[in-house]
Amino acid sequence: MKRLHFGAAWYPEHWPVERWAEDIRLMKEAHFTVVRLAEFAWSTLEPAEGEFRFEWLEQAIALLAQSGISVVLGTPTAAPPAWLVQTYPQSLAVDEYGRRVQFGNRCHYCVNSPDFHRAVQRIVRAMAERFGNHPHVIGWQIDNEYNRVCYCEHCQAEFQAFLRVEYGTLDELNTRWTTAYWSQTYSDWAQIPLPIGPHNPGLMLAFRRFVTRSYRNFQKLQLDELRAHLPASVWVTHNFMNWFGAFDHYALSADLDLASWDWYIGSGHHDHLRSGAAHDLVRGYKRRNFWLMETQPGHVNWSNTNNALNKMEARAMAWHAVAHGADALLYWQWRSALNGQEQYHGTLVDQSGQPRPFYEEAQLIGDEFARVSELVIDSFVQAKIAILNCYESRWAIEFQRHNNAFDYVSYLEHWYRSLSANNLEIDVISADAALEGYKLVIAPALMVLDEQRVQRLRDFVQRGGRLVLTLRTGLKDRHNALLASRPPGPLAELAGVEVEEYYSLEHPIPVEGKLFQGSASVWAERLRLLGQPFTTVMARYGACNGWLDDQPAVVVNPFGAGFVYTVGAWLEDRSQEILVRQILRNAELKPFETPPTVEARTRIRPDGTRLYFIINHSRQEQTFTLPWPVTDHLTGQEFAQGPLTLYPYAVALLTRRD
């Protein structure tokens, strides 16, 4: 049944069968509709090679079904058992220092190991045959949080084979990588190493593509086994770790039915602008709603302080996730294990089996989800703003930051924050995604370009779109080689400028214009106007190092029916916010005004009804002005147009009454 789902990860294999019924009773009282099972249970499901014991899992699913709770089954491949490692020691990964990873943690496998692949196929096939058509299994999660990069000899051979396909000949590879530099020319494919430590930029970028392909193949191996036995109504996902950067998440998500991720705050408290970027990133993987497969019920066990969330902070976070497109929220985990590496992680039920204080808050969230599920479930987020997230550009920058303070994700988040503070929906999408339907596209540090990306951006602006180009744009090709032109390379005609020089900044420098008197830090570029008739300088550098004094820093250029903004400096927050407001006005995108800690987000039902999620993310009362009369579907209250006061961590789910 399609609904707004609520639940947790449950590990019945940790506990006597006699305890299970009580756990499920408490789940039911918390309004659970789903639990995730078995994603780390390989040694219990297959205690010896080829010997399967599924009866306990069958029993757990049956007991959950009696209480109306559905199941997401995890393939247990993130936790290869001891017998597998003992029998197939080459299945263990090798780290970048040449050390074989030891048994005792998780994700210790080599993603390309043939021995491991055979074992994976066997367990996944057996589970799919047993549970693929089970009426209470609504979805499957493949593995858990892909993360390890392997540097073993087998991976090196696979990488060399990958390069043969990518480049065809060594002459082509040597040319693209400029291997004559430092006498790196290859005369045999077997000479090509893995990038252990700093290496040729072309090799390093190619290796990231290889890692992406390796995980995609590993995932497809499991998908093929599952889909041979699953009905079309049962979906398959993987729980990604938002900004984790070892591979291209868009590429892996393309093969899945549903995007999902694991959301943790760690130290401190919820920053709705930062987490909003992560939710919108994951929604952008498939450009539709997603699941939260894990989030924290109070505190974690792996950060600096592991502090608890404030009372009702998690409720605000839950509705924040839904507002950004989540159709499910599952906590990790249900009950504290008596031993194992995560003993101190927050749970809903403690090691004694008694509910923790947070359980009452979870009950409230579950009750609210149940009451408005029918209203919310078919709604979706419709964004008119897109931020391009380019893994190739990110990798190229991470390999050669030039300024250690230059972090690609932080820079993307910098743009996201200044946009999201206006309470406008944003998609964080692949740099290779279609741009139809957007009014404004931000391309932060789009360093790596190819003909298709350039043409897509050109067409977008030509038909009336607003495009923002930034520092470190158009510097490289897809082999991580410098383009033989000044940045932004083939985008210069659109921008009306070129970059004469870039400057890594040791301290802030002034940036001044009619809109703002501010500063830039980390990075600044000296822009030269190309003489197009309507190019306008919006801000210039103030007196600083002599080279940048009075030079253009922010420029806008009309092109076709649209406009291209070039922002050549990493502006401080206030200047960025003022600039963004001006760009939004030009794009005819109207902000929804609230205090800084109050978030307003919109989902749209198929009939066109707009659902307004209003969330106070602070510990203080906040007041904002309702632009129309509304009904709050969480409380049943009606409010007139005018001031509305929100108590700390308050949530309102509104529809208009006019």
Tell which wins on pLDDT, 346 or 118: 118
Confidence grade of residue 203 (pLDDT, cut at 50, 70, 90): very high
Which tens digits make up the pLDDT trace of 624-638? Answer: 999 999 999 999 999
Task: List the chain domain ranges.
Answer: 5-148+215-375, 385-586, 598-656
Which tens digits make up the pLDDT trace of 77-105? Answer: 999 999 999 999 999 999 999 999 998 88
Could you say which of 39, 46, 294, 361 is catalytic? 294
Cβ atoms of residues 40 and 81 within 8 Å: no
* Assigned CATH for 385-586: 3.40.50.880
| Beta-carbon count within 10 A of 463 CB | 12
Active-site residue flag, 294: yes
Give the model's pLDDT for residue 100: 94
In the predicted structure, residue 343 carries a pLDDT above the cut 80: no
Active-site residue flag, 413: no
Cβ atoms of residues 101 and 94 within 8 Å: yes
| Angstrom distance (rounded) from CA 490 to CA 500 | 15
In the predicted structure, residue 619 carries a pLDDT above the cut 90: yes
Could you check whether 5-148+215-375 and 385-586 share the same CATH topology? no
Which tens digits make up the pLDDT trace of 532-554? Answer: 999 999 999 999 999 999 999 99
Give the model's pLDDT for residue 1: 66
Confidence grade of residue 338 (pLDDT, cut at 50, 70, 90): confident
Sheet with 5-9, edge to edge strand ranges: 235-237, 137-141, 70-74, 34-37, 5-9, 326-331, 290-295, 260-263, 239-240
Which tens digits make up the pLDDT trace of 428-457? Answer: 999 999 999 999 999 999 999 999 999 999
Give the model's pLDDT for residue 344: 80
pTM tops 0.75, yes or no: yes
Percentage of residues in the chain having pLDDT higher than 90: 94
**Is it true that domain 5-148+215-375 has CATH number 3.20.20.10?**
no
Q: For residue 454, which of 415, 494, 484, 426 has the smallest C-alpha distance? A: 494
Amino acid sitting at position 90: Q
Percentage of residues in the chain having pLDDT higher than 70: 100
In the predicted structure, residue 205 carries a pLDDT above the cut 70: yes
What average pLDDT does range 261-278 have in this prediction?
93
Confidence grade of residue 303 (pLDDT, cut at 50, 70, 90): confident
| Angstrom distance (rounded) from CA 281 to CA 283 | 5
Q: For residue 5, which of 63, 98, 78, 69 has the smallest C-alpha distance? A: 69
**Can you name the residues that pair with 574 across neighbouring β-strands?**
none
In the predicted structure, residue 639 carries a pLDDT above the cut 80: yes
| Angstrom distance (rounded) from CA 26 to CA 349 | 9
Could you say which of 145, 361, 425, 599 is catalytic? 145
DSSP code for 197 = S
Q: Which CATH superfamily is domain 598-656 in?
A: Golgi alpha-mannosidase II (2.60.40.1180)
